[in-house]
Amino acid sequence: MTMSEQLRNIMSAEADLMDALTETLAGTQQALLGADGDALVEYTRREESLLRPFHDLEYERERCVREIAGPERSMTDLLAAVPEDEREPLESLAKRMRTAARRIVDLNGQNRTLIHNAQRFVQETIRIITDDHRRKLVDERM
């Protein structure tokens, strides 16, 4: 197996993980919106299990890129270093990974906002129930 084939396999595995993570984050969002604690726990476990292999795949991808393109490691340098017939699949995978990364960032931001709003709601509800409007009962760093 050539180094570019190894790189393509690694990038494909990363892209698959990113797609699965995107679906899981969307499920997390639905669990947050639906206040479904059990589903939220399950989605959080899934997220953790999907994130574990990323480190190893990233290390292997960077190793392959260094071997193919040298220390520069930009996509342009990489594509210039591989045979012409192998460029399109690598470009396609890189685009797929960029799109998934953007979606993951968006979903994470939206979920963070949902969690923050839920935290504020709980804090205000506790204050109203306890009739204590002077001190914070929930640490905002949660």
Whether 37 is covered by a domain: the verdict is yes
Residue 86 is assigned to a structural domain of this protein: yes
In angstroms, what CA-CA distances link 109 with 29, 87, 99, 100?
11, 33, 16, 14
Residue 50 lies in a domain: yes
What's at 54, amino acid-wise?
F
Instruction: Examine residue 55 and state whether it is found in any structural domain, yes or no.
Output: yes
For the cut 80, the answer to whether the pLDDT of residue 61 exceeds it is yes
Q: Is residue 93 part of a domain?
A: yes
On whether residue 41 sits in a domain, the answer given is yes
Q: Is the pLDDT of residue 43 over 60?
A: yes
Tokens of 14: 């990363």
In a domain, 63, yes or no: yes
So what's the pLDDT on residue 20?
A: 96
Instruction: Check pLDDT > 90 for residue 57.
Output: yes
Domain that holds residue 64: 3-104
Count of the separate structural domains present in the chain? 1
**Whether 90 contacts 7, CB under 8 Å:** yes
- Tell me the per-residue pLDDT of 23-37, one tens digit each, with 9 for 90 and over: 999 999 999 999 888
> Which of the residue ranges 16-20, 49-53, 83-87 would you say has the lowest mean pLDDT?
83-87
Give 93-105 pLDDT, tens digit per residue.
Answer: 999 999 999 999 9
The answer to whether residue 114 is domain-embedded is no
pLDDT of residue 136: 60
